[in-house]
C-alpha cells in the first residue's frame, strides 16, 4: 500500500550497516521510498556503493549530502564516534535523520542532537528497529494496562559473538 508521498533518502556512509539498511529499504514500495544519494569519506567508495545498489548520486563528503536539495531524510551509518557530528550537520541543513545506534557517545551529545532536531523542526530517530516488533507492542500494551504491575527495574542483555567482527578487531 502506497502513502502517495515519495520519501527521498540519502545514505551517510558506504559501509556494511548502510548496505543492510538499503537492502531492507528496498523491500518497501518504490513509490514511497527511494534512495537518491550516498555519501562517503572517499568518492570512490560512494561510487562503488551507488553502482552496486542503483543509487543515482555518489558524493565524496557528508557536507555535500547535507546540502543536497534532492534528499529529504538521511540514514546515518557512519562510525559511532561520528554520529554526533554528522547528525548535527544533517539536522542543521534541514534534513530529517534516522541515526544508527548508538545515537551518540554520551548524554551531552544526545541532548545536543535533540536540541538541534527541535530547533530545526526535523524528525530524528535512533534506528532501533526492534521497537516495532509485534512482541514489543504487546509488552507495551501489558504495561499500559497494568497487567504486569508497577515496573520498578528492567535488566536487558543484548549481544552476539564479536570474535569475527572485523571492525572490532
Q: How would residue 159 be classed by pLDDT, with cut points 50, 70 and 90?
A: confident
Provide the pLDDT for residue 168.
61
- Cα gap 117→44, rounded to integer Å: 31
Provide the pLDDT for residue 157.
73
Q: Where do we find the cell 523491500? A: 27
Contacts of 92 (CB under 8 A, 6+ apart): 66, 116, 120
Give exposure, 15-42, as e/b (b: 16+ Cβ within 10 Å): bebbbebbeebeeeeeeebbbbbbbbee
Provide the pLDDT for residue 132.
77
* Cβ atoms 84, 112 nearer than 8 A: yes
Q: How would residue 167 be classed by pLDDT, with cut points 50, 70 and 90?
A: low
* Cβ atoms 37, 71 nearer than 8 A: yes
Amino acid at each position: 500500500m502506497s502513502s502517495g508521498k515519495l520519501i527521498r533518502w540519502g545514505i551517510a556512509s558506504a559501509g556494511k550497516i548502510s548496505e543492510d539498511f538499503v537492502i531492507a529499504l528496498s523491500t518497501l514500495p518504490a513509490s514511497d521510498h527511494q534512495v537518491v544519494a550516498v555519501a562517503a569519506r572517499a568518492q570512490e567508495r560512494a561510487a562503488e556503493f551507488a553502482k552496486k545498489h542503483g543509487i543515482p548520486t555518489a558524493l565524496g563528503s557528508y557536507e555535500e549530502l547535507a546540502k543536497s536539495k534532492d534528499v529529504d531524510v538521511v540514514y546515518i551509518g557512519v562510525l559511532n564516534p561520528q554520529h554526533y557530528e554528522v547528525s548535527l550537520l544533517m539536522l542543521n541543513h534541514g534534513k530529517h535523520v534516522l541515526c544508527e545506534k548508538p545515537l551518540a557517545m554520551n548524554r551531552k551529545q544526545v541532548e545536543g542532537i535533540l536540541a538541534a532536531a527541535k530547533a530545526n523542526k526535523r524528525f530524528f530517530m535512533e534506528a532501533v528497529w526492534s521497537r516495532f516488533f509485534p512482541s514489543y507492542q504487546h509488552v507495551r500494551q501489558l504495561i499500559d494496562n497494568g497487567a504486569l504491575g508497577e515496573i520498578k527495574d528492567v535488566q536487558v542483555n543484548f549481544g552476539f559473538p564479536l570474535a569475527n567482527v572485523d571492525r572490532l578487531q
